[in-house]
Structure 1
């Protein structure tokens, strides 16, 4: 798992924006940093929906410092587009359908009792304009949401 001060692992993946386009962290970091990568286990689940809606509710604070917010999950880009639409999310959602990003970031989690494997642990990484992780938070408990004030402060510090 990347920690504060590490280079953020680069990746390219589908981005759900209402349409589907390609997202490469290394191509966007210079223009969009600080970038918040908010990993969540699965769309349409209660805690994940609440988390993404909370980021939406606080989006103005990120916009004020020219930061970009992206949700990241193992869901398909088509599922993520429906999730965005149903929850009026204005930020893009990155599809890690093949679990490459989750593996690269070392945040894979299983729900053995449900037969669900390799989803993202609820995690938040802030990446600055140099591609460095300036904030890292990972929860082993999928029911715990990030400290949104702490994320906002980290973004402000990275701006």
Structure 2
């Protein structure tokens, strides 16, 4: 599992931002760090929707320290664009449809009873301008949301 102090695994993936663009973590660090990666199991589910909407509601706190927030899930970029639109999210959502980022960050979780496998554990990473993980939070309970004030503090400290 990726921990505080580790080099953040680099990746390139589709970015749902109203359109579909390419996102490469290492290329975004210079202009957008600290970067907050908020992994969530699935769009349009209750806790995930609440979490992403809470990040939206608190976006100004991240903007104040020049931090950039991105959600990350296994959903397709097209699903994520619809999720963004319906919830009026102003930040981009990264599609990990092929489970590569989830695997690189060691976050895969299964819902055996639902027949759903390899989704992201709810987790948040703050990546500083050097590509180092300044903050890591991973929950084994998909019903638990992060401590948003703690994430904001970590982003401010990494700025």
TM-score by length of 1: 1.00
Q: Per the alignment, in what secondary structure is the counterpart of residue 141 of structure 2?
A: coil
Alignment partners' CA distance in 2, 1:131 and 1:52: 23
Alignment partners' CA distance in 1, 2:136 and 2:65: 19
Name the structure 2 match of 1:105: 105
Residue 140 of structure 1: how far off its partner (Å): 0.1
Instruction: Return structure 1 stretches of 4+ with deviation > 2 angstroms.
Output: none
Name the structure 1 match of 2:8: 8
Alignment partners' CA distance in 1, 2:12 and 2:87: 25
Name the structure 2 match of 1:130: 130
Residue 131 of structure 1: how far off its partner (Å): 0.2
Alignment partners' CA distance in 1, 2:5 and 2:115: 35
Name the structure 1 match of 2:90: 90
1:11-50, aligned counterparts within 5 Å?
A: 11-50=11-50
Q: Deviations over 1:91-113 (max 9, x none)?
A: 00000000000000000000000
Alignment partners' CA distance in 1, 2:40 and 2:85: 17
1:137-152, aligned counterparts within 5 Å?
A: 137-152=137-152
Alignment partners' CA distance in 2, 1:15 and 1:90: 13
RMSD of aligned Cα (Å): 0.3
Alignment partners' CA distance in 2, 1:34 and 1:62: 9
